[in-house]
């Protein structure tokens, strides 16, 4: 093994999904996967690329059937996961989830027509519980809905992880108000942004531009790398090596890359 | 150790269905039954011992809905017992796992008391059935035979094990020709459905002997489970525990079949 090459692979993949096709799909599923993406297949992929640790993201297509991921994090201590839950979930259940390796609650809002009210008593209570558990909120949304959501989450005092560069809009790029709100938030110290799923953005250049801005505002202490394996809806055009190579394109400085793929993620998810 | 004065079957015997309760447990509005006496696990264990019954499965009773607490306390105390519970389909994985550690092996769906059966195609129900499958539990379904065909495909699609109460409760006018009974036979053949040969005292002993013989003839003995339905709520004085065994013993063709129906099948299913 080439030691120089091995050190330039992220230690932590902060975003991937695992599932099997026979899991119950929610009525609103936006995507029907073509094949299983099992925990075992994912671990093999990590091993094949020398990635040591990973955080699974709850996928909206399975609603709050988090059970498969929870079983995986119980078995494999190198894995953590976020979950999709009802805001009324009992705190004793949340504690058991934490003991099993759950590290946050995913608000998978991008596919929703209308989003829940974070100012409601149920969500205010959930956010307080998230904070009490030292979890984070894992937010996936875009555009004009991001700024008010970020404001609510900052006010609640929770750690916040924003998916996929904050998903700048195709026409505005870094000038997108959502992305600008993300930039302001990372400067505040409790918000992290994932450099991930660049293939979902309008062009490779948008991802490079966003990464440059994020690095300038936040530095590598607030950035994470995620593969988004198994690349839902891009299953045939993406592969894991391309996801690793994406980070090199977005973050040219190898030391910054090492922080992003290693220490920053490890502190946030595995501390 | 009680003397086995009342032994009918001289082999391992598992009672797949009995209830325990006290008269002061909370009862739902308009209960199907509302017994005014206590039937404790200790009373039941005495009856088991007197009849040579080694293991048993306690069934959640619809009058008490999801107040499973008394039954679960019994499962914790007596490893000879397992149980099925009534829970909301939104029950959390963690809650169900705790129950499993205490001896719960399935969920009872008492659709017979409902005017409309729930829509099992919703995400909430598919998630629930998947959780039961993940736990290697079974669905313990009490439904009138004629409505069985409309729910059966959902259970089979989920991959969960299914146990039907009381011969599948065919329409008495049509008996073994009832579509529900026929659908049950086909499901049993596919391998994930079991049926309790029980409650003959409710359905008529002549009738159930015909159901039983038809089951043996068409699907064999591997998915049949004898059960007492003790303490025969609603028919207490007339039915005896011994009689529930004799009613089934009457149509057993040989001792190998008898051993399966009275014990071996249930041991594999409920005490894996």
DSSP B230: B
* For helices A240-250 and A39-49, angle between their N-to-C axes, nearest 10 degrees: 50
The residue that leads in pLDDT, A30 or B64, is: B64
Q: Is there a domain that residue B5 lies in?
A: no
Q: Taking CB atoms and an 8 Å limit, are B94 and A23 in contact across chains?
A: no
Per-residue pLDDT of A93-132, as tens digits, reads 999 999 999 999 999 999 899 999 999 999 999 999 999 9
Average pLDDT along chain B:
95
Which H, E and C letters describe A3-44, residue by residue? HHHHCCCCCEEEEECCECCCCCCCCCCCCCCCCCECHHHHHH
Pick the residue with more confidence: B1 or B120? B120
Beta carbons of A85 and A96 less than 8 angstroms apart: no
What backbone torsions phi and psi does residue A196 show, to the nearest 5 degrees? -160, 160
In terms of Cα–Cα distance, which of A137, A126, A121, A124 is closest to A87?
A126
Question: What CATH number is associated with residue B223?
Answer: 3.20.20.140
Smallest CA–CA separation between A147 and chain B, in Å? 31
The yes-or-no verdict on residue A4 having pLDDT over 90 is: no
| Total structural domains within chain B | 1
Residue B37: inside a domain, yes or no? Answer: yes
Collapse the DSSP code of A195 into the 3-class scheme (helix H, G, I; strand E, B; otherwise coil) and give the result.
strand
Residue whose tokens read 């998978």: A108
CA distance B270 to chain A (A): 23
**B51 located within any domain:** yes
Shortest Cα distance, chain B CAs vs residue A65, angstroms: 6
pLDDT tens by residue, A191-232:
999 999 999 998 899 999 999 999 999 899 999 999 999 999
Residue B246 resides in a domain: yes
Q: What is the mean pLDDT of chain A?
A: 94
B94 contacts in A (CB within 8 Å)? Answer: 92-93, 96-97
Categorize the per-residue pLDDT at B5 as very low, low, confident or very high, splitting at 50, 70 and 90: low
User: Does residue B3 sit within a domain?
Assistant: no
| pLDDT given for residue B235 in this prediction | 85
| d(C-alpha A234, C-alpha A56), whole Å | 18
Q: What is the average pLDDT across B236-245?
A: 91
Range of the domain at B50: 14-270
Chosen from B88, B101, B126, B154 to mutate, greatest number of chain A CBs within 10 A: B126
E strand segments, B176-217: 193-197
Least Cα distance to B187 among B206, B161, B205 occurs for: B161
Domain A11-270 grouped into CATH 3.40.50.300? no
**Which of B93, B127, B159 lies at the smallest CB-CB distance from A70?**
B93
How much is the average pLDDT of B44-60? 97
pLDDT over threshold 60, residue B2: no
Q: Which of B108, B56, B50 is nearest to B78 (CA)?
A: B56
**Would B143 be classed as within a structural domain?**
yes
In this structure, is residue B9 part of a structural domain? no
| Residue A149: pLDDT over 60 | yes
**Residues of B with CB below 8 A from A23's CB?**
130
Residues on chain A touching B92 (C-beta within 8 angstroms) = 89-90, 93
């Amino acid at each position: 093994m080439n030691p120089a090459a091995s050190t330039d692979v992220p230690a932590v993949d902060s975003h991937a999904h695992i599932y099997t096709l026979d899991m119950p799909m929610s009525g609103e599923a936006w995507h029907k996967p073509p094949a299983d993406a099992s925990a075992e297949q994912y671990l093999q992929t990590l091993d094949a690329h020398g990635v040591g640790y990973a955080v699974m993201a709850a996928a909206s297509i399975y609603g709050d059937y988090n059970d498969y991921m929870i079983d995986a994090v119980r078995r494999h201590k190198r894995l953590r996961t976020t979950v999709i839950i009802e805001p009324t979930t009992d705190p004793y259940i949340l504690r058991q989830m934490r003991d099993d390796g759950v590290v946050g609650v995913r608000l998978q809002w991008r596919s929703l027509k209308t989003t829940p009210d974070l100012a409601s008593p149920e969500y205010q209570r959930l956010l307080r519980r998230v904070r009490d558990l030292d979890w984070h909120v894992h937010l996936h949304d875009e555009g004009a809905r991001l700024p008010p959501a970020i404001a609510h989450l900052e006010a609640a005092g929770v750690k916040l992880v924003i998916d996929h560069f904050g998903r700048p809009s195709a026409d505005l790029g870094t000038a997108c108000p959502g992305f600008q709100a993300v930039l302001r938030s990372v400067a505040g110290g409790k918000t992290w942004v994932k450099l991930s799923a660049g293939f979902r953005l309008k062009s490779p250049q948008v991802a490079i531009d966003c990464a440059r801005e994020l690095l300038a505002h936040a530095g590598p202490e607030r950035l994470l790398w995620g593969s988004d394996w198994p690349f839902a809806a891009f299953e045939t055009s993406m592969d894991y090596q391309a996801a690793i190579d994406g980070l090199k394109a977005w973050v040219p400085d190898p030391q910054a890359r090492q922080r992003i793929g290693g220490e920053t993620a490890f502190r946030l998810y595995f501390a | 150790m009680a003397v086995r004065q009342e032994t009918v079957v001289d082999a391992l015997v598992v009672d797949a269905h009995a209830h325990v309760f006290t008269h002061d447990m909370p009862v739902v509005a308009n209960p199907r039954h509302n017994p005014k006496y206590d039937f404790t696990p200790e009373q039941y264990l005495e009856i088991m011992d007197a009849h040579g019954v080694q293991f048993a499965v306690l069934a959640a009773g619809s009058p008490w809905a999801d107040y499973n607490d008394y039954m679960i306390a019994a499962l914790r105390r007596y490893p000879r017992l397992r149980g099925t519970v009534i829970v909301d389909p939104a029950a959390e994985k963690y809650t169900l796992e705790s129950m499993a550690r205490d001896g719960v092996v399935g969920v009872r769906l008492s659709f017979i008391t409902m005017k409309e059966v729930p829509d099992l195609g919703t995400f909430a129900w598919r998630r629930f059935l998947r959780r039961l499958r993940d736990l290697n539990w079974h669905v313990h379904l009490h439904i009138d035979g004629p409505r069985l065909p409309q729910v059966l495909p959902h259970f089979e699609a989920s991959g969960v094990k299914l146990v039907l109460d009381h011969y599948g409760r065919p329409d008495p006018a049509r008996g073994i020709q009832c579509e529900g009974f026929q659908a049950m036979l086909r499901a049993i053949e596919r391998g994930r459905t079991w049926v309790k040969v029980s409650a003959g005292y409710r359905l008529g002993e002549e009738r159930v002997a015909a159901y039983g013989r038809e089951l043996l003839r068409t699907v064999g003995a591997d998915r049949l489970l004898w059960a007492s339905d003790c303490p025969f709520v609603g028919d207490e004085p007339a039915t005896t525990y011994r009689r529930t065994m004799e009613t089934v013993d009457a149509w057993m063709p040989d001792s190998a079949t008898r051993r399966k129906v009275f014990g071996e099948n249930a041991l594999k299913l409920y005490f894996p």
